[in-house]
């Protein structure tokens, strides 16, 4: 059974930092692309960051330079380190994984507010 379990969401002030974690099970993590998407209220889900099995990373323009995605294949875990948070980063963040990014977590709420 495939599972993606996100954690680390919460409330952070503008300019602050937060790290999300996603632990995967039920598929070959080391062979899988992993990524993060987000969905803000009233908006469509959008891509945030991704990391290939070879550790190549790529980012949405809106987060490049502020967010860092990383993975540890021994722990079946991917992280999203978010720095210099902005109010517009408020959203539910979803972990996704698989050769075609076809597995999804339940999401974790991140709120940026003063």
pLDDT tier, 63 (very low <50, low <70, confident <90, very high otherwise):
very high
Quick one: pLDDT at residue 106?
96
Whole-number average pLDDT of the chain: 95
Name the pLDDT band for 114 (thresholds 50, 70, 90). confident
Residue 84 has pLDDT above 90, yes or no: no
Average pLDDT estimate for 93-98: 96
Q: Contact at 8 Å (CB) between 112 and 12?
A: yes
Contact 58, 40 (CB under 8 A): no
pLDDT digits (tens, 9 = 90+) for 6-55: 999 999 899 999 999 999 999 999 999 999 999 999 999 999 999 999 99
Question: How much of the chain, in percent, has pLDDT values that exceed 70?
Answer: 100
User: From residue 39, how far is each of 12, 42, 77, 97, 106 by CA, in Å?
Assistant: 17, 8, 21, 17, 12
Say yes or no to pLDDT of 81 above 90. yes
């Amino acid at each position: 059974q495939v599972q993606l379990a996100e954690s680390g969401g919460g409330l952070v002030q503008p300019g602050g930092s937060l790290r999300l974690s996603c632990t995967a099970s039920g598929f070959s993590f080391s062979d899988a692309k992993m990524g993060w998407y987000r969905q803000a209220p009233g908006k469509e889900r959008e891509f945030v960051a991704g990391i290939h099995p070879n550790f190549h990373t790529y980012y949405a323009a809106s987060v490049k330079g502020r967010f860092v995605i990383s993975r540890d294949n021994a722990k079946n875990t991917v992280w999203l380190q978010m720095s210099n948070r902005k109010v517009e980063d408020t959203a539910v963040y979803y972990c996704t994984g698989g050769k075609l990014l076809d597995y999804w977590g339940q999401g974790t709420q991140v709120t940026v507010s003063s």
